[in-house]
Structure 1
Amino acid sequence: MNAPEPGFTLGPNSYGKSGIRLVHVDRATARHAIRDLTVHTALAGDLDATHYTGDNAGVLPTDTQKNTVYAFARDGVGAPEAFAERLARHFVDTTPSITHARVRVEEHPWTRIGDHSFARGDGGEIRTAEAAYDGGTAAVTAGVRDLLLLNTTDSEFSGFLADEYTTLPETDDRILATAVTATWAYATVPAAYDTAFDAARTALAAAFADTYSLSLQQTLYAVGERILKAVPEARDVRLSLPNRHHYLVDLAPFGLDNPGAVFQAGDLPYGLIEGTVRREAA
């Protein structure tokens, strides 16, 4: 292959292995433990040669990255955040051409129903973790994706801006439902990632449940604030809350009233509320 023509250059780039499925069973006792993960790796560094000339001397194959994930799991996975950081550090510290590694981990939760039996529902909730390492500093984030939450009351939406295109009626009682994606960045390492995650998820659900909501934005802020209170090591929380609309069905054509009992669950389009709640600098 020829060198690039003058006037062109390579921009930011990375490569890695996506969708590495890993299930680890801890059989240390008769009460087994399971971790079900999907791992994604992305490496960057001195990789100009492979792009310009096809020289692969500095390329750690993506298949090798996959094998590394499985080999590292041999003696235990632990918290997803810690597992991601171990892998990211390994790729940078052992591969001269690699100067930056990012490892994302998604955990698919199972509910224990026995010493060696587990069940998983259809809710779709996934625990997330990511570690990025540049040879000196490791940045770790944690979170949850597609956590389905619903309040049947204690939610209003009124007093909003209206113009000539507004048809939405005000309401003082509505179903509030969402599929939360939350990510919090750690400023310092918690004593135990699993404990910190459990505290954050508990705080998230509690804030949603006990906040009388005048807007989904208000709920978003209440959730972020509660997570930061529960996890002092977290610096900020990024939240994405799609509004899973529920529309009251008109039963009048059938000679029936509808006392807030029958709803149609909406699909598309939907409102999407996003924001970040930060801890103020001391």
Structure 2
Amino acid sequence: MSIVLGPHQYGKAENRIVRIYRDSPRHEIHDVNVSTALRGDFDAAHLRGDQRTVLPTDTQKQTAYAYAKEKGLVSIESYGLELARHFVDDVEPVSGARIEIEEYAWERVLVDGSDHDHTFVRKGQEIRTAAVTVEGTGSGQREWVIGGFKDLVILKTTGSEFHGFLEDEYTVLEPTADRIMATSLVAQWRFTTTEVDWEATYAGIKQIMVSTFATVHSLALQQTLYEMGKAVLEAYPFLAEIRMSAPNKHHFLYDLSPFGLVNDNEVFNADDRPYGLIQASVLRDDAPDAGSAWTIAGGFA
């Protein structure tokens, strides 16, 4: 039996970068968390401690900050592509780079009924995400971009059922034809092109997913996830697939009978654990190869 080195990569995780645009009195802010990972000919570093092909992780960090100024930081997908292409094209031992980004939203403070030019408060119903992978050089270079979000907490008070499920001797759950359905949604979608209006597409995908969640009369969270993914792919032909992870944030009707009160679906106990975890992917049957797009996150966070 022989022992060999397997797949490996290295990088700088969670570089917190805040980019302020001061081109006018009305400032703009972009607040991100950037992780880089490089793949390539690094066997010697693992096998012999030879660092001659290793670009330090500190250099990766410095590059991420410098590129926020040099290349700009408006759309996280574009920024991630610029960074990944640099590592692959300009650093000889590197054959592949993956950039993962989270973006934290801010909104302007109101002063006397108007937006203030340079004061912000944190906002955001979700954290926007992107994962960019670039491999190879020249005409053989391949690129994959995955957009997404996480921590989108969404709830509807009716329009959801759960019954007709499999039962055995350990089943105690009562079927229901009217329940609260709530989740903290993670979604990631894979692009087939980099020629995209990133900002408009992100806003459109989020709106479709939220409106579909609201309007589909759900017999199961699984059904709702499929309909959400299907609606997104129908609206955006340049998306190959969408993957979703949805913890079921349970709300159980609270027993008020000891107090002589009737609880007509009005008072609930919100349990945070344990929780059902529903995960699904929806894709085109002719979707192009995913390559290394899902290598790290696997599509589910």
The answer for the alignment partner of 2:261 in structure 1 is 256
Cα shift readout 1:180-218 (whole Å, capped 9, x = no counterpart): 100000012343111111111111111111111110001
The answer for the alignment partner of 2:121 in structure 1 is 119
Name the SS of the counterpart of 1:172 in structure 2.
coil
Select 1:226's aligned residue among 209, 228, 231.
231
CA contact 2:159–2:179 (8 Å) conserved in 1? yes
Alignment partners' CA distance in 1, 2:124 and 2:77: 24
Alignment partners' CA distance in 1, 2:91 and 2:194: 25
- What is the deviation of 1:117? 2.7
Select 1:183's aligned residue among 184, 188, 191.
188
Cα shift readout 1:147-192 (whole Å, capped 9, x = no counterpart): 0000011111111111111111110110000011000000123431
Select 1:150's aligned residue among 146, 155, 159.
155
Name the SS of the counterpart of 2:77 in structure 1.
helix
Alignment partners' CA distance in 2, 1:172 and 1:178: 18
Name the SS of the counterpart of 2:184 in structure 1.
strand
Select 2:250's aligned residue among 228, 231, 245.
245
CA contact 2:21–2:29 (8 Å) conserved in 1? yes
Name the SS of the counterpart of 2:245 in structure 1.
strand
Alignment partners' CA distance in 1, 2:195 and 2:108: 26
Alignment partners' CA distance in 2, 1:190 and 1:280: 22
CA contact 1:14–1:43 (8 Å) conserved in 2? yes
- What is the deviation of 1:110? 1.7
Select 2:24's aligned residue among 29, 46, 51.
29
CA contact 2:105–2:123 (8 Å) conserved in 1? no
Cα shift readout 1:16-51 (whole Å, capped 9, x = no counterpart): 000100011112222222111000001011001111
The answer for the alignment partner of 1:18 in structure 2 is 13
Select 2:79's aligned residue among 70, 83, 89.
83
Cα shift readout 1:70-122 (whole Å, capped 9, x = no counterpart): 00011421211111111111011111111111000011112333232322258
TM-score of the pair, normalised by structure 1: 0.94
Does residue 46 (structure 1) correspond to residue 48 (structure 2)? The answer is: no
Alignment partners' CA distance in 1, 2:26 and 2:237: 32
For 2:13, give the aligned amino acid.
Answer: S
Alignment partners' CA distance in 1, 2:92 and 2:281: 36
Does residue 137 (structure 1) correspond to residue 142 (structure 2)? The answer is: yes
Select 1:107's aligned residue among 96, 103, 109.
103
CA contact 1:189–1:233 (8 Å) conserved in 2? no
Alignment partners' CA distance in 2, 1:44 and 1:55: 16
For 1:58, give the aligned amino acid.
Answer: T
Alignment partners' CA distance in 2, 1:246 and 1:190: 43
**C-alpha RMSD of matched pairs (Å):** 1.5
Select 2:212's aligned residue among 207, 215, 222.
207
Alignment partners' CA distance in 1, 2:52 and 2:128: 36
The answer for the alignment partner of 1:162 in structure 2 is 167
Segments of structure 2 that go 5 or more residues without pairing to the other structure are 110-114, 288-301
